[in-house]
Structure 1
Amino acid sequence: MEIRVLEPKDAALYREIRLEALKNHPEAFSSGYEEEKEFSLAKTETRLGGGNFFTFGAFEQNELLGVVTLIVESKLKIKHRANIVAMYVKRKRLGIGKRLMLEAIKKARELEGIEQVYLTVTSSNEPAKRLYQSLGFETYGLDKRALKIGDDYYDDELMVLFL
């Protein structure tokens, strides 16, 4: 398995897996399938164009199996922080999610000035929470009723890793 930072040339593959994630697990993402399916491929290419965003992809035989994005804050007062978002593994295969997270954390450690990494996880997603805790993330809060899908509400657990 190869894990690498995605580039604009990977936009079609990324868009496909992103839409799958949003469609199959709407409670896990603040973005919605209905919104993002309208995004152009050019917008996805821009998203993968670098800057403060690093989207990692896990590939096996040229198939994109999982993704995670590290976003580095750019405002002066919060430049010591980064956020992990958009974590998704296509097939539940042991270790893909952990390897993606380790790459994102490694990148955060390599970046000058980053002291802590934040993420949000749906409070009912026990497997994801166990993974994040095993990597050293700690819960620091609960965002009650963070997402509303139809008539259902979902709480988000707020987690941080101090580097």
Structure 2
Amino acid sequence: MQPSLEPLDAKQYWDLRLEALDQNPEAFATSYEEAIQRENPIDGVAKNLTNEGNFTFGSFKNEELVGVVTLLQETPIKLSHRANILAMYVSPKMRGEGIGEKLLLEAIEQAKSINSIEKINLTVVTTNERAKKLYEKLGFKVFGTEIKALKINENYYDEDYMVLFL
């Protein structure tokens, strides 16, 4: 585990992001097709990795990035007490190794270190039981469900909204 990814990690992050969008399209608002059409995506990732209030944590195995999660603090003054968990993904070949939990714990600790953050929000597809169990284990609670939150081809996916109060 490393504290936070750096611009030098942008290529590996982008490659893992594309894998995530391809392997688990129901878990992300962005589609693989949209992602591969972006201009200079690696430069964009590198820039995002340096944005204030954006913390992207990664897990490496043999120098290969195998898991990521982003903690993003809200910037408007009235919302700055909130942060969001985004882009959580662990490569299928590494699932079951505890990587997701370690990544989330790192993000939660980062949030706790910022005095203004009082809560962390996330969304998860209702059928993703494995992820929901992990979030619940770490203290997240469902506070709402959006019906038909995502539409992929002709299939709809509902999403649970979850919160962890720090």
| Fold similarity call, TM over 0.5 | yes
- Correspondence for 2:73: 72
Using the size of structure 1 for normalisation, the TM-score is 0.96
1:93-108 mapped onto 2 (5 Å cutoff)? 93-108=96-111
- C-alpha separation in 2, matches of 1:52 and 1:155: 28
Whether the 8 Å contact between 1:120 and 1:159 is mirrored in structure 2 is: yes
Gaps spanning 5+ residues in structure 2: where?
none
Partner of 2:154: 151
Please, which moves more after superposition, 29-38 or 11-20? 29-38
**2:82 corresponds to which letter in structure 1?**
R
Q: Secondary structure at the match of 1:57?
A: strand
Query: Is residue 47 of structure 1 aligned with residue 48 of structure 2?
Result: yes
- Asked if the contact 1:30–1:147 (Cα under 8 Å) also holds between the matched residues in 2, the reply is yes
Question: 2:112 aligns to what SS in structure 1?
Answer: helix
Contact 1:121 1:157 in 2 (8 A): yes
| Distance in 1, Cα, partners of 2:69 & 2:84 | 10
Look up the equivalent residue of 2:69 and give its one-letter code.
V
Look up the equivalent residue of 2:24 and give its one-letter code: H
Q: Is 1:118 matched up with 2:121? A: yes
Rounded to whole Å, the distance in 2 between the matches of 1:13 and 1:38 is 18
Distance 1:146 1:130 in 2: 20
TM-score (normalised: structure 2): 0.95
Report if the CA contact (8 A) 1:3-1:100 is conserved: no
State the superposition RMSD in angstroms: 0.9
| 1:14-38 CA distance string (max 9 Å, x none) | 0000000001100000111111112
Overall identity of the aligned pairs, in % = 48
User: Structure 1 residue 48: deviation in Å?
Assistant: 1.3
Paired amino acid for 1:8: P
4+ residue segments displaced more than 6 Å: none
Contact 1:123/1:156 (<8 A) preserved: yes
Unmatched 5+ residue regions in structure 1? none
Deviations 1:103-127 (A, max 9, x none): 0000000012100000000000000
Give the equivalent residue in structure 1 for 2:137.
134
| Local SS of the residue matching 2:111 | helix
